[in-house]
Chain A
């Protein structure tokens, strides 16, 4: 519905939300549409009158907001950043046979045709509670976990091979697995069979 706004006797718009009545002031007649000055759309009159109602809040910040946010961010970065504390958490009660940085067990691999067999090596620190060299030497060769390796032809071959190595001598063990044997009964813990790589 259009209206002639130059008509002095034009109707006023009742702003029910603010409880006042304002005369319609415009230089050009507004046509039909949702923005037309109409009692059915009372809020749009306030855009021209700056009453504060129905102001359009743009998602783009204005200059003051931009400066305020930037200042706050820089201040937080300057004040909030500090060197992180690094904590050392020693034991409460001293455990036996622990030397920090020297493993009780470590992973190794035994070359096999077309792949390798993963080994879990028990070091002399775990086995005898002392280290003969600066780094713990792997000495442990256990008969194997049949539950893990007993399945399939490859598993049975692997178990047989390791047991043969163990039964032969430490020299063979050293040559194949590339770690030294400490002289006592060696053990190897078999943990898994590597896929072909």
Chain B
């Protein structure tokens, strides 16, 4: 059984946000508009976090970090859901069952990464975008929680295609939209249980670290960065 993981090479990332846009379009995430953004309610499954660096006069600057759901192996969110509407599946994907979610937002408060999103109102798209919605991803109604799925609909499609061609799923068959889009090649995706996979190899790198490992959440998003990690996490 695979254990899906992502690697984000911060030394390659140019903070262009192509991944953010690709995610938004791929997953039918409604662009809520300026008004909702001003209320602090814009939904984004993958966002760019700005970390302040070198605060004490050395080399002040910002460092941008793409932040999807960490798909923790020990997720704090799934434990607290009162109705089992969020679960970690056998391949390590933390999934959300929209038709069951009661919208209590316990998972959103329990997640230390603040990557879970809530639908404050029904999603809406401007006229030209309405015909461009992805048929593979269900639209979430008002009042439920949603989150990055590592584009698991793409896993289903890749598996179907492999089955049709009577072969095993191969490395590279299944890539989330953000990984596929990244022009700088800063994102990698694959099976962490396969020692020959790119993510396993990169995970061994001395540059590798994960966010808030000390909380015991065992995230499956691995970051790569040269030298000292400046972010205060």
Q: Are A and B a genuine interacting pair, yes or no?
A: no
Residues of A at the B interface (CB closer than 8 Å) are: none
Residues of B at the A interface (CB closer than 8 Å) are: none
